[in-house]
């Protein structure tokens, strides 16, 4: 089989490495991929947002199966375009990807179908929004409606901050048209859990739970990033919480999307907060999380491509999706300065025995050598019998990898260890 994977980051590298385990796969193409994946996939240089180019490549190369991983192409209908040419895909069509593409849509969906989430108001007028935050409870949370590279959420700790956020999103158009509408919602408190799930519109199969570490610095200090590390499973996701989530969130979401004529097929990501009143949805994503995928897929025992194809063919109920009874930890190595300005072009040294555990997000080739080419450069994942061992093993590998201006958090997993009563 010839498989193509749209995207270029660490998440895509993890998907590619896992798909490569399938015996029927003869070739995997990355569109565009990055130089750090060259051992695992053929790099094409075709950009993830070049819908017409992707379809043409798929037809010319006689692709048997396509995986569309990032949010932008999904929301933009890349799956629709491939399917129109008869190419089977993993990923939702645009009409279902809207669950991530519009926060107004997802909040209204949850309200309509009684799915637990933060209370909210929608505004299309900046003045009305400004007036609202003069008297609403503080802290409050301001969210741009559309995609904003993961930066469209502002937790305002004061009325001033709330007003500034409304101005920059709605008036200064910091995120372009994504900020034409905003959601202002109740500030929730509690541990966060990421649950990715496979769904074919008939069955939901939650994957192993995980915990992201979004802030740039140790102790959850500093700016929000795309994610500085992950662990799985998440200790806050107990059996009791999982059962409630299935009953109150996962199944109702799938049913709601079906009712709306927007059947979701692919990976539906539930960003959850475990509040004192039970689990609530913070956000939906229409795709695998990054860097959640880098801890979840290494624990998957069932063949990933088999599961994906079962989703496409709507026979997920017939597949037994199994997970290793282990833990995983992924530490992201970034370029110093990320998520703000940083330098690129430093030579990378990754020992050969560590390579299988490394998912490269931002690398390029220069004079035959691998050099850094992004804010998040790579993720290093270890799996082990328990979480302390996985964390130790991940950091041991990280210390053996070197590149100029490398930066990583030293406390990935420490909150989870504390929850398990295993903190040092
Ligand atoms: P999102 O981009 O929707 O994942 O939001 C980014 C982060 O903002 C989340 O991971 C939460 O930590 C935080 N957040 C989002 N919505 C809320 C909320 N209603 N209350 C508290 N924190 C929130
Ligand atoms: N790690 C969060 C996300 O993928 O959106």
Q: What percent of the chain has pLDDT over 70?
A: 100
For 356, phi then psi, to 5°, come to -60, -20
Specify the residue with its C-alpha closest to ligand 1, atom 8: 153
Q: Could you tell me where the DSSP H helices lie in 102-158? A: 103-113, 126-132
What residue ranges line ligand 1, CB within 6 angstroms?
118, 141, 150, 153, 155, 185-188, 192, 214, 271, 282-283
- 224 φψ region: left (φ > 0), alpha (ψ -120 to 50), beta (else): beta
Specify the residue with its C-alpha closest to ligand 1, atom 3: 283
> Which DSSP string corresponds to 205-256?
EE---BEE--EEEGGGEEEE-S-SEEEES-TT--HHHHHHHIIIIIHHHHHH
Per-residue pLDDT at 417 exceeds 80: yes
**Residue range 130-136: average pLDDT?**
94
**Residue range 241-257: average pLDDT?**
98
**Residue range 167-174: average pLDDT?**
93
Predicted local distance difference test score (pLDDT) of residue 31: 98
**Residue range 84-106: average pLDDT?**
97
In the block, residue with structure tokens 């997970």: 323
Predicted local distance difference test score (pLDDT) of residue 148: 86
What residue ranges line ligand 2, CB within 6 angstroms?
150, 212, 227, 285, 289-290, 292
Determine the Cα–Cα distance for residues 315 and 341; give it in Å rounded to an integer.
Answer: 46
Instruction: Give residue-wise pLDDT tens across range 377-413.
Output: 999 999 999 999 999 999 999 999 999 999 999 999 9
Predicted local distance difference test score (pLDDT) of residue 424: 56
CA of 103 to the centre of ligand 1 (A): 12
Ligand 2 test: best mutation among 100, 285, 359, most atoms within 8 Å of CB?
A: 285
Predicted local distance difference test score (pLDDT) of residue 422: 81
CA of 49 to the centre of ligand 2 (A): 19
Instruction: Give residue-wise pLDDT tens across range 260-275.
Output: 999 999 999 999 999 9
Specify the residue with its C-alpha closest to ligand 2, atom 4: 289
Closest ligand by atom to 192 CA? 1
Atom of ligand 1 nearest to the CA of 103: 3
Predicted local distance difference test score (pLDDT) of residue 92: 98
Inter-residue contact 321 to 307 (CB < 8 Å): yes
Detail the DSSP E strand segments found in 297-344. Answer: 327-335
Predicted local distance difference test score (pLDDT) of residue 149: 79
**Residue range 158-175: average pLDDT?**
94
- 165-to-103, 150, 215, 423 alpha-carbon distances in Å: 16, 15, 19, 37
Instruction: Give residue-wise pLDDT tens across range 109-125.
Output: 999 999 999 999 999 99
Specify the residue with its C-alpha closest to ligand 1, atom 15: 282
pLDDT-derived band at 150, boundaries 50, 70, 90: confident
* CB-based contacts of 408, cutoff 8 Å, min separation 6: 228, 229, 331, 332, 333, 334, 398
pLDDT-derived band at 224, boundaries 50, 70, 90: confident
Q: What is the mean pLDDT of the chain?
A: 96
DSSP state of 48: T
Instruction: Give residue-wise pLDDT tens across range 207-217.
Output: 999 999 999 99
Determine the Cα–Cα distance for residues 359 and 284; give it in Å rounded to an integer.
Answer: 24
**Residue range 215-242: average pLDDT?**
96
- 26-to-6, 13, 20, 288 alpha-carbon distances in Å: 17, 17, 8, 24
Neighbours of 180 (CB within 10 A): 15
Instruction: Give residue-wise pLDDT tens across range 355-382.
Output: 999 999 999 999 999 999 999 999 999 9
Instruction: Give residue-wise pLDDT tens across range 321-353.
Output: 999 999 999 999 999 999 999 999 999 999 999
Three-state secondary structure readout of 351-379: CCCCHHHEEECCEEEECCEEEECCCEEEE
């Amino acid at each position: 089989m010839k498989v193509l994977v749209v995207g270029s980051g660490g998440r895509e590298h993890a998907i590619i490495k896992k798909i490569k385990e399938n015996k029927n796969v003869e070739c995997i193409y990355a569109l565009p991929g990055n130089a750090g994946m060259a051992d695992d996939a053929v790099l094409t240089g075709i950009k993830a947002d070049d819908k017409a180019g992707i379809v043409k490549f798929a037809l010319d190369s006689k692709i048997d199966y396509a995986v569309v991983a990032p949010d932008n192409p999904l929301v933009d209908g890349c799956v629709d375009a491939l399917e129109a040419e008869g190419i089977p895909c993993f990923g939702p069509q645009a009409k279902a990807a809207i669950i991530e593409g519009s926060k107004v849509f997802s909040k209204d969906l949850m309200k309509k179908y009684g799915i637990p989430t933060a209370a909210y108001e929608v505004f299309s007028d900046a003045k009305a929004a400004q007036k609202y935050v003069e008297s609403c409870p503080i802290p409050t949370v301001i969210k741009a409606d559309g995609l904003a590279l993961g930066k469209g959420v502002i937790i305002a700790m004061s009325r001033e901050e709330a007003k500034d956020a409304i101005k920059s999103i709605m008036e200064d158009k910091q995120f372009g048209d994504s900020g034409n509408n905003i959601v202002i919602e109740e500030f929730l408190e509690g541990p966060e859990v990421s649950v990715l799930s496979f769904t074919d519109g008939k069955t939901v199969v939650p994957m192993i739970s995980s915990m992201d570490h979004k802030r740039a610095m140790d102790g959850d200090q500093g700016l929000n990033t795309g994610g500085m590390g992950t662990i799985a499973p998440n200790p806050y996701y107990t059996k009791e919480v999982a059962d409630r989530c299935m009953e109150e969130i996962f199944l109702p979401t799938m049913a709601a999307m079906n009712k709306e004529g927007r059947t979701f097929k692919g990976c539906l990501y539930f960003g959850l907060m475990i509040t004192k009143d039970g689990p609530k949805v913070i956000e939906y994503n229409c795709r695998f999380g990054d860097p959640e995928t880098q801890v979840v897929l290494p624990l998957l025992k069932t063949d990933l491509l088999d599961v994906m194809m079962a989703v496409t063919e709507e026979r997920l109920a017939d597949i037994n999706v199994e997970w290793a009874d282990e833990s995983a930890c992924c530490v992201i190595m970034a370029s110093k300065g990320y998520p703000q300005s940083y330098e690129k072009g430093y030579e990378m040294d990754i020992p050969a025995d560590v390579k299988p555990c490394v998912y490269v997000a931002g690398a390029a080739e220069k004079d035959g050598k691998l050099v850094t080419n992004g804010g998040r450069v790579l993720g290093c994942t270890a799996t082990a019998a328990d979480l302390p061992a996985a964390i130790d093993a991940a950091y041991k590998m990280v210390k053996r990898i070197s590149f100029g201006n490398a930066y990583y958090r030293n406390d990935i997993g420490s909150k989870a260890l504390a929850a398990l009563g295993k903190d040092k």
